[in-house]
Structure 1
């Protein structure tokens, strides 16, 4: 081959190699561009899985989402070094997250994301506008008796599950801060706290999906509503109701039963929030503790009021009331006044779950008042109510397993 031919071959070879190199660069750029677009669409998933590889966390972002459910709150990586805690104020639909070990006050509302199905919300919650009656908030749901899927709203009305949030800091030392984040929610949820890769997650679950059994207990009256005055003019019904409930709470704290209390102190609680709580959490049963009274000092004994109109399923209000009466008759004045329909009483009328209002005795009867104010009798009444709850739940759970 001549010298000229060799030069031509060399030039051709160089051009060919250059073309291949340029083509390779174009293909690589194209693939990288496609990868960047994909990463942009699934950044949260990719980052989560990369950061948690070979760690003791959930293995994929999808598993995390499945664990959290459709509604949850994300507090972005806070760099905290201590455990976090969560407290509930379900009567006001509030939860408070306490975070310890923060290095500064850099956590703001922008670092808190709320998820409601496929919608996300960040920053300070916006004001919610009325939806012309379409959106069944818990109050209207309970008041008119309509029933809907828990927490469900029309597609066009998916909203932020957080109505309001505040962040309060406390300086522990020059290098450590604590923060309390208070969330006001749109429903009563069963909040489930967990951490993954430094982020804090609060799953907002339907209570019935978390707890096997749910009971709502109500100490009648309270605060500015004293109830009936006692025969000796020394106190009011609200105090006796509360003492019985606190004895009851001490016993139930040892049981594997989720109990919501409308009040555990001398608080003013209106009637609608009491029954709304029972309806919102879809309680298995709702018990209200009261004392009776009369203008005469003669009447005495225990009676139980129930809802006669409408059914709450196979286990009715009347069945609950009958169990309560059987357990409580004879504890105070040894007089059984029987079952009484209480459909005109608001918390009974509006209840969508089995309800019973227990009149433990008459504070207008001096002898029976002595029983009711006795620490021993209060414990006895509380023990009897625990048995009411256990027997009622036993029957309710039989119905659940057969359906």
Structure 2
């Protein structure tokens, strides 16, 4: 074969190879654009997937709006295999959400979203949110007859309902974490928990709209405030009050009544927070348990204090006190000292709900001290107060309040 022929074959071969390469690039390029399995298509699909995912928790919240109401908290990406529990510390306006079954420490401030009347708050709480100017001040509101939007005064209606929150973790084992999210709120709420598609929703309900019956029970004194001392120095009032309340709690735990307790231990609780709890929850009844005392050892018997200056409804504080006195005198068999207007007492004066303060007997009288220190008597008193609560709730309902 001649030299010229060889050159022609080489040129033809080169052109053929070049054509094949161009065709391959063209076909490959078309595949990258139109093949759904191509990298471009995958990137496009991922974009839309993340876009839809970012909307998911809000769209789900919109679907749950009837259950969630106007105020709620969202914890994003909590995981489909996690378990949740929520605990309240209503005296401090706090709730704690515990999440178990997390594979990693993936919950950050950015995963915590709060919603109030359509206004959304994400991440850390703004420093402005902790200023007192826009907050409900129960001590002032309680002493007036004015009404205000639940949780805040009018100038801050759409503010963040969360004052602060913290996130902490505990490693349960190599593959599992437990997260604890602690919220400090602007008000006492009834938290209701929902879970949907790995997102947690905590509805912040107004207690009076979440529960049919609300009772606030107060064991007088406590902690640094011992109350009256027994005539023989054997005990203080705070201890007897608490024992009666805990016996009462045991009874009421089995009833369909939402009960808020100002204390369930030997804690120092000031007067304003006690009455504030009753007012903020719009309790149906507010009962405070006390023991009486006198400089003389002669006085004895049961008396019940009430608010005489009443304009809050047809079921009055005096009516509640009357029901309490009738029941209590039957249990103790002691002297009936009657009803006493107690408007000068702070928790009675500031109460905007039916209130009664029950003096169950005198620690300064030896016979009554013996009665009050008896565990059987304390249980009997608790049982009597449980009857008072049921009767009063029924009469209040019949009164249309």
Aligned to 1:320: 320
1:291 to partner: Cα distance:
0.2
1:380 to partner: Cα distance:
0.7
Q: Is the 8 A contact 1:135 1:154 kept in 2?
A: no
Matched, 1:141 2:141: yes
Q: Is the 8 A contact 2:219 2:263 kept in 1?
A: yes
For these two proteins, the number of residue pairs brought into alignment is 353
Deviating above 4 A after TM superposition, structure 1's stretches of 4 or more consecutive aligned residues are 42-46, 129-135
Tell me, what secondary structure is at the counterpart of 2:218? strand
Q: Deviations over 1:31-69 (max 9, x none)?
A: xxxxxxxx9xx967964699xxxxxxxxx6533122100
Distance 1:45 1:212 in 2: 37
Mapping 1:236-315, distance limit 5 Å: 236-315=236-315
Mapping 1:194-233, distance limit 5 Å: 194-233=194-233
1:239 to partner: Cα distance:
0.1
Q: Is the 8 A contact 1:208 1:281 kept in 2?
A: yes
Aligned to 2:179: 179
Aligned to 1:18: none
Tell me, what secondary structure is at the counterpart of 1:387? helix
Aligned to 1:369: 369
Which of these two proteins has the greater Rg computed from alpha carbons?
Answer: 2
Distance 2:129 2:194 in 1: 32
Matched, 1:398 2:393: no
Aligned to 2:85: 85
Q: Is the 8 A contact 1:306 1:321 kept in 2?
A: yes
Tell me, what secondary structure is at the counterpart of 2:127? coil
Aligned to 2:122: 122
1:348 to partner: Cα distance:
0.1
- In angstroms, what is the RMSD of aligned CA positions? 2.3
Q: 1:133 to 1:162 in 2, by over 3 A?
A: closer
Q: Deviations over 1:230-277 (max 9, x none)?
A: 011011000000000000000000110000000000000000000000
Aligned to 1:16: none
Aligned to 1:57: none
Aligned to 1:21: none
Q: Is the 8 A contact 2:316 2:354 kept in 1?
A: yes
Q: 1:66 to 1:45 in 2, by over 3 A?
A: farther
Distance 2:169 2:57 in 1: 28
Aligned to 2:347: 347
1:126 to partner: Cα distance:
1.6
1:143 to partner: Cα distance:
3.8
1:133 to partner: Cα distance:
6.2
Distance 2:142 2:128 in 1: 20
Q: Is the 8 A contact 2:291 2:362 kept in 1?
A: yes
Aligned to 1:99: 99
Distance 1:172 1:318 in 2: 54
Deviating more after overlay: 148-157 vs 89-98: 148-157
Q: Given the two structures, how large is their TM-score scaled by the length of structure 1? A: 0.83
1:149 to partner: Cα distance:
3.5
Aligned to 2:388: 388
Aligned to 2:338: 338
Aligned to 1:4: none
The answer for unaligned runs of 5 or more in structure 2 is: 1-47
